Amino acid sequence: MAVVVWVFAGGGEAEVAGLIPFLEKNFPGCRFERKTPVKMKKGSKPGKQNSYGKTGKSLIREISARLPLALQYESGKCDLILVFDDLDCRDVIKQKENFLGAIAKIPECNDINKFIGFAAPEIEAWIIADWNNSIARHPDFKGNREKRMRRWLSQEKNIPFDNPESFSEYNKEKDCCREKLSQALVNSSEQDADDRNMPRFSKGLHTPELLLKINPEEVQRKSPLFRELYNYLQNFC
């Protein structure tokens, strides 16, 4: 019988749409149930239940509100509480403490396993870490186009393909990275005149699709925070 993992995920719709299928594909011993963002019910007014885009402090507030309700109505049905968020250049130790501190205020989950996982700086770093199995093979980008994209990302944005989690630096005023890795990926797909008549990189369309193409063994070799998440779920599931 599969163990049950409740997933509280931050980020936009693309990240959440891609995360659960990725987890299901790579950790079949677990059953992943998304608790936040909450899917819209038919007939609901826009914005009433959807909580896409919440990250950091906003995600903590969302967990504090929704986790007690889940525990109240589904008591005994959870084996692991998995919190996942884009790190966005924030301090990883402090962010873990913030999430765990919020969960610790809910005594009903004291005996449930908990893990705080991050994509650094964003989930697109996983795609860049395994470029050859993702962008380089996708029909929208393969061939000379992906080579132009990779060259531009390396030379103009100084993205380290062997260590994509280290891209950019923290902007205190905005509480996020000074530069967005996902936006750099979008921009890389429309630099050349020949590329502007072709599909540009889309977080909504390409990110979820490409997350299913990456080889986790390759990504964990270049991405320490991904490796931490991957190894934990490999052992747990």
Q: What single-letter amino acid sits at 181?
A: L
Q: From first to last of its 237 residues, what are the pLDDT tens digits of the chain?
A: 779 999 999 877 667 788 999 999 999 999 999 998 765 444 444 444 454 556 678 899 999 999 999 999 887 789 999 999 999 999 999 999 999 999 999 999 999 999 999 999 999 999 999 999 999 999 999 999 999 999 999 999 999 999 999 999 999 999 999 999 999 999 999 988 888 889 999 999 999 999 999 999 999 999 999 999 999 999 999
Q: What single-letter amino acid sits at 163?
A: N
d(CA 141, CA 34): 31
Structure tokens at 178: 């000074």
Structure tokens at 45: 């007014």
Residues in the chain: 237
Short-list 53, 22, 23, CA closest to 37? 53
Give start-end residues of each CATH 3.40.50 domain in the chain: 3-123+222-236
User: What's the CATH code, domain 3-123+222-236?
Assistant: 3.40.50
Structure tokens at 93: 């130790």
With a CB cutoff of 8 Å and minimum separation 6, the contacts of 8 are: 35, 36, 59, 62, 63, 66, 67, 81, 82, 83, 84
